[in-house]
Each structure stands twice: as structure tokens, then as C-alpha cells.
Structure 1
């Protein structure tokens, strides 16, 4: 319980559940406004967490702040490690890193490397003499008040920031800006089974658009209620399937959710393949210790410093070492549905549609040197990273 929640006697997990409950049950026409009004509570939470890091409190997830206490001077710093997404692939599991004594992670990352700031940084680097300025000066020039959102750290602590949106259309500018300000940045991406990802995305959207009709609404209400015009889950899936089939029939690309290689390419180009790690989001759930060993080794940390177990009730991993900690109960709710069993004909079409891009991912990150029987045999091992890719990559092998 951090400083704020210790004072208010509200557990942070209960606070998050309450906030999520409100968002899941608010009428669709009010969703945007309610979410905006909930934002200040997130700011309060972040400020309280920042305060707790350096005032001897216990953080909201139960990791004692004493492990970060140091007599070394503190300084505002850019992150050493950035998580670039992808949505619905388990980026939230990186929160466990905050329980490591050598890592500090901010749960809500300041929007510093957005497209506008990234462009300004690139322009500044080309026109000025960045060697004369330290990082804080550059941040002040390019991001203004955003610089105040960076925490202070010692020089020895590893700082991690997650950000799903970094894998978007402005990825190249973002990667260039990161390279200019911190050329030693390490990049983490989490890829997952695109079929599960599609269903998870649509299921979340469906929960947030409860009203599907405009019956009884006046024109002003209908104008405000764009979200409530969304189709129900089955209709959304049907439309997605028809679009995927249409693309297949015309030799086109897949309808998104599998652009892993393309999203990572700008970061590999700027930082080198050795500084860009692609984790298996499915393995983070089913084989957490194996996948976390890969992550810890990539970060230069002891692979034995964090251990996990599968919580039977949640069906999700929880941290066993160095402290006991589970993510909040809202995580992974859509994963309890076997989408292939519920929608066998639809997912068969999705599988064919996603196949080319998953092959591209396998070759780009050198999971296999080529797609052949040897590669497929490796991917058939359910305990290996990216074993789910077998279904897509080995259709014709």
C-alpha cells in the first residue's frame, strides 16, 4: 500500500477494479467522458507512487521500497528499456519487473516519445549541436512540461517504460528520437497468437459498447453516441472474417494483428538486433519462468532473480520471488474463452490470412533461418518460445 492509499485506506487493486468496473458498465454514449474524468485519479496514483519510491513507503504492489534506497545522488533520466507493445499481447506483465531490486518501472509512461516530440528531437539533432546539452536540456526543449514526469533514479538502477503505441505508424521517427537521446536503449516487444489477439480486442470493445441501438434516442444523443452503433461481438467477428477472406481471394495482405516484424524493423535498424528482444506473450502465461529467463538475461540481470508460479484460480502467472505478487483480476479475462472452438470456421480463415506475416516474423527475428521441416519440428515443441507460430508457419510444410 503506497503513501496515498495508506492514508485513504483503499487498496490499489480494489481501486483499479472499481475503475475498470465503471468503464465496463458505463453507457456507450458516456464512455469517453467518463474515462476522461477518471484520468485525474490515475495522476494521483502516479504522484503517490513517485513519492513512495524515495520516502520509504511500501509500493502499491507490495514490493518494499527499501530495495531501492541508496545514498547515491538521484537524477532525472530517460528510460534504459522501452516496451513497444503490442496491444492485447500481455505488455502489462512487464509490471512484474518493478519487483526486481535493480529495476524501476513506471506503470503509466509519460507521452514523451510521441510523434510530435520525436519529430522535434530529430529536427533539433540535425540543426543544433546536441553534444553541448545534457538529456534534461533536450527534454526541456522538445517536451516542455513532460520532463517533470520523469522520476529520479540512481545511476545504477535499470529503468523500464512500457508503451503500446510505440509500435504504430510513427515508429521510425520514435526509434530515431530514442537513438538520439539514449543510444543504449534496449527495446522489448511481446508478440502473441494473432487469433487470440483478435478475439481479445473485439471482446474488450464489445464490453465497452453495451448499447447497440439508437431506438428512443434523439438526434443530439445519436450524434454523441457513435460508439453505441457498433455491432455485437458475433457480427464484428463475421465482418472481420469476410474481410480476411476477401483479402485472401485477391492475394492481399492480412487484416492487421500480425505486423510484428514490420513494427520491430525501425527499432532493429536503429539499435541493432541484439538490443531488440521479442518475447512470446503466450509463453509468458504458460511457461513464465522460461520466458522471463530470456528477458532477465537480455537486461543483464540474474536469470534466477525472479521466479513465477501459475495461480490455479486465475489461470495466470504470479510472482513467487523476490516477493509474492499477482496482477489485478481484470487481466486475461478474454483468454478464458477457446476462440478456435467457439468460432472454428472463422478462425480457419484467420489462420490462412495471418500465415504470411507470422512467417515473416519467424525469419526476421531468426527464430528459424528458414521455414522447413526442421523449423516446424522446433515449433511443434509446446514448451519452446513461439510454439503457437507452428499453426501459421507450417501450413504448407
Structure 2
């Protein structure tokens, strides 16, 4: 007779395993411990086999019969239900191994060591917050362009247009990595060209009029904040490196006797050399007496870490400058680039090399840290001297001999 739920609930375990048959090979195995397990007995290629269908009541009588009927259909088609289940489990494991998150983290682990720490942390945080929760478990080969667009639109809807574009770029890199490693056929992010709202990037605020620069330099000279921040303020316009590179500078990278500072550029991870003018060496020697025994040139409140990324801009605001419209820590680079070319008439390629920008040469070299080194040494000293004269209020007469 066919089983009923009442029969199953009332069935008691015995000293030996007990089988209650339902028909078609389906039976309930009641173990001496009380467990009730569904089993399906069938024959394939002349051999008797057994298929586990789960435990009662997690798998109800109705569900167990559905599993039996599905298995019988497979048998009718010449398919072994047990082998079919193993194949499905293997496919699920393979799918999980090739999920978007697994491949994304593999891609990140491979390439992140070549990036700046600030960049790599932003990339993984962006993926963990905005992409993995929705796409992470999906097989990467099955993700479509509309599916990816839905994720990016969600980011756009909160007003983070730049984040949406960067997330699209990161996803594209991950898809292309999957293609290169044989886990996907194509990169669907390429189909989304023009689908996201464009982002208008504003240039960093900068002062480029020598009169305004002179006032700023005098304000820095009169700054009454901490000595460490004041030194950073004095060196920022003089050396015009990226703000993050200045504030995270390490003493081991400086050779004050040779008047040189060597470090890895945060964006490109290439070596960069900054010739130090005599004024910068004097500031650094004075600062060395205070922080020279520490790792960082500009330590923060936590002496083991560099000063805050907001310290220079906060100091500029304290001096009365609007960091959105007048000057930012990054704006010193635009200031130097403009005045060095327009007022002091240095060649653009010399300036660009000192800014650590990629400037292809005749040999196709993207950046050469020693290129134009003599010209850059001259330029950096003349630039520091020029700033001194501006701060003192002297009349500035550009010198053009170095352009020959």
C-alpha cells in the first residue's frame, strides 16, 4: 500500500533498519536511531542501484514522490539518475569556482601588489560594497550586459556617478581577465559604452597668477600651526609632488648630501627622482632634528603613521583659502606647471618629467627618471629662488638662458 503522512509519523524505529515502501522503488528507511531517510531503488544496465532523496520531514512524502518520478523519466531516457546527480553537483562546484567574486578576488590578488595601497583599497572596497552582493555568486560566463547595467544604475541612483564609471572599469578588467584565463567568452561591459551618465571632472583649484602666489607664500611663512605641517606647506609648492607622496615621504628615500629624493610614483609604481633645491634641503635638515628618528618625514598624531591626507588642505583653509575654488594641496602642481612654462620659460617636456607624467620619447620610453636630470636640477633651484623672490615682494624678471 502507498504510504501516508500519518503512517510515516507514527512509524517507530526498531532494533534493525525498517523499510516502508511506497511503490515504484521509493521507500522510507527508518534507522534504529529514529532517522527517516528517503531512498529510491532502481536498476540501470542490469545493476541494482540506490539513490538518496533526503530525510523526512525536510523532504515531504509529496516531494519524495516528485523526485522518484523525475528519476523514472531519466531512466526512460536512458540516463542513470545517480550519475546525473553527480554531474549536476560537479557543475555547481565548477560554477562556484568560476563565480564573479572568486575570479575578481583572484584578479585582485594578482595585480593589487603593483598598485598604490590607496588605489587597491578603493578598488576592493568598491567591489565588496557595490558589486559582490549582487553579482558575486553568479557564474562569470553567464553575466549579461543588462545584468551588469542594473548594478551600475543602482550606484548611479545614489548620485555616485564617478563610482559607477569606476565600477564598470573594474568589472571590465575582471571580465577580460576571465576571458584570458578561459573562464568566460567575452567582456559584457563593452556593450555598455555610453549607457552611464558622463562625469565632468573639475580641475584642482590652483593659483597661477604670480601676485596671488606671492600672497600665498607669505601666508605660509606666517602660518602658526604645528612645525611639521608648516614644513609640509613650505615644501608643497617648492617640490610640487602629489600630496600623497609628500605626506607619506620616508626618511630612507632622502639623500640630503646629494640633494635627492627618490620614491615610487603612486600612480605608475615607477621610480621618480626629485632634485632638491638648497631651500628644501635646509627645511628638511631642520625637520630631521624633530622627526629624523622616525620612519615618516611628516608623522601624524599616531607617530607610527604619516600625517592625515586632510592636513595640508585644512591648513590652507585655516589661512583663509577656499580649497574648492582657490588652492588645494594638489593645486601646487598646476601652479608650478603653469608658471615654470609661462613665466620662467622652461621646456614643457622638462616640466612634465619633473611632474612624473608619462612622456613618450623617441625610443618609446614612457618615463625615464634620469631624463633631463641636469635641466631639472637647474629648474628646481631656479623655481625655489623664484618663489623666494615672490614671497619677498621683489620684482620678477624671467630668465630665459636655460631654454637653449
TM-score range, shorter chain: under 0.3
Between the two structures, name the one with larger relative contact order (CA 8 Å, sep ≥ 6): 1
Structure 1 length-normalised TM: 0.22
* TM-score, length of structure 2 as denominator length: 0.22
Choose 1 or 2 for highest CA Rg.
2
